[in-house]
Amino acid sequence: MPTVTLTTQNFQEQVEKPGILVIDWWATWCGPCRAFAPIYEKASDKYTDVVFGKIDTDAEQELAAAFEIRSIPTLMVFRDQVLVFARPGMIPGAALEDLVDKVKALDMDDVRKKLAEQEAQAKQEDGKQEEVKDEEAKAAGK
């Protein structure tokens, strides 16, 4: 399947589709990005059941800023609307294929359960921090 150019206009639509979305954040001036392009294209041809998207960070600066892209190429993978992988740097073809296979094998119910647990723990920790701030404010006021 040919790669899909992702923009601010179609990004959300692509992420919300069921299945796997692999994203290559790149720019025309980036040497490693140009070197990674044929590897990425080959994987997109092999995995016809996976959407492979490309985001030009120069043309889509709002998206790049929203995802805090600091290095390119950066590879991200969504599965069923959940970001399951994000890492800057070029990877070899075999590693990209291994990554896609591992994402396909994920138990998404388990992934969602773990994410919910992490969110609950983060909220609990935020609550404790607020209590400490309240106590410190009371102590400072005395």
Residue of 22, 30, 39, 63 marked catalytic: 30
Mean of the per-residue pLDDT values of the chain: 92
Q: What share of the chain is helix, strand, coil (3-state, %, to 5)?
A: 55, 20, 25
Checking if the pLDDT of 141 tops 80, the result is no
Based on the residue annotation, tell me whether 30 is a catalytic residue of this protein: yes
pLDDT in tens, 34-71: 999 999 999 999 999 999 999 999 999 999 999 999 99
Mean pLDDT of 96-110: 95
Instruction: Please tell me the predicted confidence (pLDDT) of residue 129.
Output: 75
Mean pLDDT of 93-112: 95
Write the DSSP symbol of residue 19.
S
Instruction: Please tell me the predicted confidence (pLDDT) of residue 142.
Output: 55
Instruction: Please tell me the predicted confidence (pLDDT) of residue 122.
Output: 86
2 pLDDT band, cuts 50/70/90, is: confident
Instruction: Please tell me the predicted confidence (pLDDT) of residue 70.
Output: 93
Residue of 6, 22, 33, 75 marked catalytic: 33
Based on the residue annotation, tell me whether 85 is a catalytic residue of this protein: no
Query: Distance (Å, rounded) from C-alpha 10 to C-alpha 127?
Result: 37
pTM of the complete model: 0.83
> Reduced to 3 states, what is the DSSP secondary structure of residue 25?
strand
pLDDT in tens, 68-96: 999 999 999 999 999 999 999 999 999 99
Instruction: Please tell me the predicted confidence (pLDDT) of residue 135.
Output: 74
DSSP assignment of 58-123, as one string?
A: TTTHHHHHHTT--SSSEEEEEETTEEEEEEES---HHHHHHHHHHHHH--HHHHHHHHHHHHHHHH
